[in-house]
Amino acid sequence: MELVIKNGTVVTANDCYKADLGISNGKVAVIAAGLTEGDEVIDAAGCLVFPGFIDPHTHMELPFMGTVSSDDFFSGTRAAACGGVTTIIDYCIQAPGETFVAALSRWKEKAEGKAVIDYGFHIAVPMIGDDLLDQMPAAVEAGVTSFKCFLAYKGTPLHIDDATLYKIIEKAKGCGALPMVHAENGDIVDILSRQLVAEGKVQPKYHVLSRPHEAEAEAVGRAIALARLGGWSVYVVHVSSRLALAKLREARDSGAAVYGETCPQYLFLAFEDYAESGFEGAKYICSPPIRERANQDHLWSGLRTGDLQAVASDHCAFNFAGQKEMGRDDFTRIPNGCPGIETMFPLLFSAGVGKGRISLNRFVELSSTASARLFGLWPQKGTVAVGSDADLVVYDPQKETTLRQKTLHSSVDYCLYEGWQITGYPVYTISRGEVLYRQGQVTPVARAGRGRYLKRRRWNGLEFPLKP
């Protein structure tokens, strides 16, 4: 065995048991008691052994709003590994007129030679013609089995109208793909933003007024209706609002195969945290917006009941200096996005398992298994089992950590959780049997380019249960 992990407690979405793991050729080869022979032996006594975390929503080196997100595939995936993440699914944004396959090879080029952990892609679809719809099967063949449509961002090439969304849903059904939506009503956001700016309400705190709960809930409801009309599924990215969640819950209760993810910024942060902080509030600007504190409990309830299936970071880092500052005189020019890939799952563990909101098994489901199953990576990823990739996190549930920008690894000049004390943290992050992170240090194995492209399986709507 190349690596043996001894004395730990293995936790999957279904089980929790004491066992040793033997790893060979990058895979879990043996799960047994009393393993001793290994080139390297990690003593995991007192620790939990989780499947490597999966972040199904990231934006590394994304050109957006006149700048480029500050983490590239190297700094972003190295930060991910330090937070226990061993797989990301990033958004390949197709340029208008570009074929899907050309867009994909352009994004693969960005990641190859840089990514430290394994990666797959979704494709974000701009307003497209029927000729491009016909290319969806070729992208599915290449391993991209989910397509995201922006109902927001009116006036940009990303904005998708209802006819196009419906055609994408029909096409996705035909070729085995999962349609995804960024659900905010782009027309309403556009009108409200213009009105606020015209009234001189240009500070960051007005961003939230330009994107009300109702604008999100309406778009979620519409996307669900179109998916049901098309007889297919839809996955709603970054659900932030209790009203949007209610739309998902209602549809799922009536048997619709619709899914939703939420993000740490909506679970842990609130409008009240930045409303009075002047332009510093730009650090919190993302879309949908971070909402009032009373909204958080609704999202936690969605995670507990299974009406939300996944947690993703939507990691899209922009420096405060020079990038967020582009919107100093107008909140509509603040690049939308927050960093969070490294802190997401330790925060979820501390506030979720630590405070009794979710069980250990549910934590694994939300941090790994659900994303693997939704996005065609299970059981290669998303569980601890013989034959699965040895993507593992040795996690000390008692370790006390204070989050600080200067000790985190993202290429960004702030942390939204500066000074937060959390309990529980990764001690080792292991990707295909290689230790990338050990007791607070990035190892030399975590080199640029070791990550591999993941060709994902088709979505058939059958692999994921409606209720946990």
Distance in Å, CB of 202 to Zn ion, minimum: 24
Nearer to Zn ion, 314 or 365 (CB): 314
Nearer to Zn ion, 71 or 391 (CB): 71
Nearer to Zn ion, 55 or 314 (CB): 314
Distance in Å, CB of 314 to Zn ion, minimum: 4
Nearer to Zn ion, 56 or 433 (CB): 56
Nearer to Zn ion, 60 or 257 (CB): 60
Distance in Å, CB of 3 to Zn ion, minimum: 34
Nearer to Zn ion, 51 or 179 (CB): 179
Distance in Å, CB of 436 to Zn ion, minimum: 25
Distance in Å, CB of 190 to Zn ion, minimum: 19
Residue from the set 216, 307, 314, 434 that interacts with Zn ion by CB under 5 A = 314
Nearer to Zn ion, 233 or 336 (CB): 336
Distance in Å, CB of 443 to Zn ion, minimum: 30
Q: Of the listed pieces 18-26, 198-206, 307-315, 422-430, which binds Zn ion according to CB under 5 A?
A: 307-315
**Cβ-closest residue to Zn ion?**
314
Q: Of the listed pieces 43-51, 72-80, 151-159, 309-317, which binds Zn ion according to CB under 5 A?
A: 309-317
Q: Of the listed pieces 18-26, 38-46, 154-162, 311-319, which binds Zn ion according to CB under 5 A?
A: 311-319
Helix H, strand E, coil C: the string for the chain is CCEEEEEEEEECCCCEEEEEEEEECCEEEEEECCCCCCCEEEECCCCEEEECEEEEEECCCCEECCEECCCCHHHHHHHHHHCCEEEEEEEEECCCCCCHHHHHHHHHHHHCCCCCCEEEEEEEECCCCHHHHCCHHHHHHCCCCEEEEECCCCCCCCECCHHHHHHHHHHHHHHCCEEEEECCCHHHHHHHHHHHHHCCCCCHHHHHHHCCHHHHHHHHHHHHHHHHHCCCCEEECCCCCHHHHHHHHHHHHCCCCEEEEECHHHHHCCHHHCCCCHHHHHHHCCCCCCCCHHHHHHHHHHHHHCCCCEECCCECCCCCCCCHHHHCCCHHHCCCCECCCCCHHHHHHHHHHCCCCCCHHHHHHHHHHHHHHHCCCCCCCCCCCCCCECCEEEEEEEEEEECCHHHCCCCCCCCCCCCCEEEEEEEEEEECCEEEEECCEECCCCCCCCCCECCCCCCCCCCCCCCC
Distance in Å, CB of 306 to Zn ion, minimum: 23
Give the number of residues in contact with Zn ion, rule: CB under 5 A: 1
Q: Of the listed pieces 164-172, 306-314, 366-374, 382-390, which binds Zn ion according to CB under 5 A?
A: 306-314
Q: Which residues bind Zn ion (CB under 5 A)?
A: 314
